[in-house]
Amino acid sequence: MIRQELRLLHEQAGRPTADRLKEQHADRCGHSVSRAALAAVPTGTAGLRWATVEAFIDACASYAESRRRPLPTHMIDMVRWRTGFDRTYGERPPPAGALPRRIGVVPRLADCFQTRTLVSDLTKATADSGTAVLTGTATRLLTGLGGVGKTQLAAHLAERLWQDKHLDLLVWISAASRAAVVTGYAQAAVDIAVAGARGVDTERDAARFHAWLTTTDRRWLIVLDDLTSAADLKGLWPPSRPSGRTIITTRMRGAALTGADRHMIQVGTFTIAEATEYLDSRLSEHPDLADDVAGIAADLSYLPLALSQATAFMIDEEVPCSEYRRR
Ligand SMILES: Nc1ncnc2c1ncn2[C@@H]1O[C@H](COP(=O)(O)OP(=O)(O)OP(=O)(O)O)[C@@H](O)[C@H]1O
Ligand SMILES: [Mg+2]
């Protein structure tokens, strides 16, 4: 059934040869589907992969466009094709476009997560639909601005907003490069079936998702975790919207990221009270190890990452605080 429809599409597009299909496909998105696989779509009898079908439809559409005889939009509606494909081949992902939806993997909250005072600063900063930029403050340790708990704070708020049903869409993107942001946006566009997003041209799909953020009334949160360069977000900053929230975490100093509607939040090490509370709860099941909590906290400059590593070691090796300090 779907095979016959693909044949019709091929015909309507002007019967592009295998070479032309491959050329159109390569022009638009590199070489992920082979010439042979594309050629076999209208003629073959073996099973089909969705990636091949998608690339074939896109190549036909772009071939027809190049002949100035574009295919009618209903013929290249990917959501309809996907439904037909699933009906034939039995794949059943959640219905495209369904909200609420989570996209990307929110990091797991640390054992004994501490609700720091910064949690309420972050909640307030995003409550009025603004953007919160979490930057690290320098610590005495060589880790510089890392390991202070920026990602954990973002994950905590994201999970809370999601569980309290304040969000229709939660997108978590590890934003260490522009390509990662573009891919994350493009994936979101396809997953929630933004009009026209077909999963073939990532730049265009990313732009479609950005445009959707700008116009939708749905409640969204975008987390861009670990941004390394402000330039990576050129044209991709999530817009300021009444129903939208953005959290950015970065090791960069704030200056390059300031702007209207942006709340800069400096995340430092734990306070003494937070570090003590953290160590007490981490070691609560091993009271014999907790013989010098204050000493360990000070030695490790109250850095969350260092404290979590130290306690993991102490528990695994049954080393008490005092001995750990001597080593
Ligand atoms: N609020 C917290 N409660 C308990 N543990 C925490 C907390 N914040 C951070 N940690 C511990 O510190 C580790 C590092 O935190 P996180 O990954 O959030 O740092 P970061 O500032 O994002 O670092 P980087 O700049 O390297 O991305 C966590 O894996 C966790 O073990
Ligand atoms: Mg981080």
**For the chain, domain boundaries:** 2-89, 101-266, 272-326
Number of the ligand 1 atom closest to the C-alpha atom of 267: 21
At residue 268, what is the residue type?
G
CA separation for the pair 294, 280 (Å, rounded) = 10
* Cβ partners under 8 Å of residue 214, min gap 6: 239, 241
Q: How far is the CA of 258 from the centre of ligand 2 (A)?
A: 19
**Residue 264: strand pairing partners:** 133
Neighbours of ion ligand 2 (CB under 5 A): 151, 226
What does each of the 327 residues of the chain score in pLDDT, given as a tens digit?
A: 788 899 999 999 999 999 999 998 877 666 678 889 999 998 887 778 888 999 999 999 999 999 999 999 888 988 888 888 877 776 555 556 679 999 999 999 999 999 998 999 899 888 867 789 888 765 443 344 789 999 999 999 999 999 999 999 999 999 999 999 999 999 999 999 998 898 889 999 999 999 999 999 999 999 999 999 999 999 999 999 989 999 999 998 777 888 888 888 989 999 999 999 999 999 999 999 999 999 999 999 999 999 999 999 999 999 999 999 998
CA separation for the pair 273, 74 (Å, rounded) = 62
CA separation for the pair 222, 216 (Å, rounded) = 14
**221 close to 170: Cβ distance less than 8 angstroms:** yes
Residue of minimum CA distance from atom 13 in ligand 1: 305
Most ligand 1 atoms within 8 A of CB, residue of 174, 280, 308 to mutate = 308
**125 close to 264: Cβ distance less than 8 angstroms:** no
| Domain 101-266: assigned CATH number | 3.40.50.300
Most ligand 1 atoms within 8 A of CB, residue of 305, 309, 315 to mutate = 305
Number of the ligand 1 atom closest to the C-alpha atom of 152: 18
Ligand nearest to the CA of 153: 1
**What is the helix (H) or strand (E) element at residue 29, kind and residue range?**
helix 18-29
